[in-house]
Amino acid sequence: MKQLTNCRLGMIMWQLLVVINFLAGCQLNGFDAGHFANAFLQSVYLYKFFHWETGYFNTLDITLDRAGYYLCWGCLVWVPSFYTFHSYFFVYHTPHAGYVWASMILVLGLTSVWFNYEVDRQKEVFRSPGGNKNYKVFDK
């Protein structure tokens, strides 16, 4: 139930709404580099989520929470509506970010997503059986 509501329905709806809002913004206002950066970074983050999906199911919040109203409502309603609100906002309020600013935002955003993935990967390795004995953060 958790995988269906969170991963399949909630996260896929998030991605669809990001793409729909970006296309609507392009149709109404033309291409904007800032809106593109927003949509691209969210898509990269969602790709990272689906790439690391099995690790996600080992996190404490997903293992301890039961698939009740709170989790299902949050995944089906809150995630797709709240996490895509800025994409929807950009449809009617074009950010008018130039290519330089959009590039800087992309680099910073991609770096942040990479750090997030690396932290999650390190936690997964550390929690694996025998992983904490063989894992070295810094080589001497």
CA–CA–CA angle 36, 15, 33 (5° rounding): 0
Asked whether residue 138 is assigned to any structural domain, the reply reads no
Domain tally, the chain: 1
- What pLDDT is recorded for position 69? 73
What CA–CA distance (Å, rounded) separates 98 from 37?
A: 11
The per-residue pLDDT string of the chain (140 residues; one tens digit each, 9 = 90 and over) reads 777 777 788 889 999 999 999 999 999 999 999 999 999 999 999 999 888 877 777 666 666 667 777 778 888 888 888 999 999 999 999 888 899 999 999 999 999 999 988 888 888 777 777 766 655 555 54
pTM: 0.81
Asked whether residue 10 is assigned to any structural domain, the reply reads yes
Q: In which domain, by residue range, is 115 found?
A: 2-132
Centre a 10 Å sphere on the Cβ of residue 25 and count the other Cβ atoms it contains: 26
Asked whether residue 137 is assigned to any structural domain, the reply reads no
Going through the chain in order, the beta strands assigned E by DSSP cover none
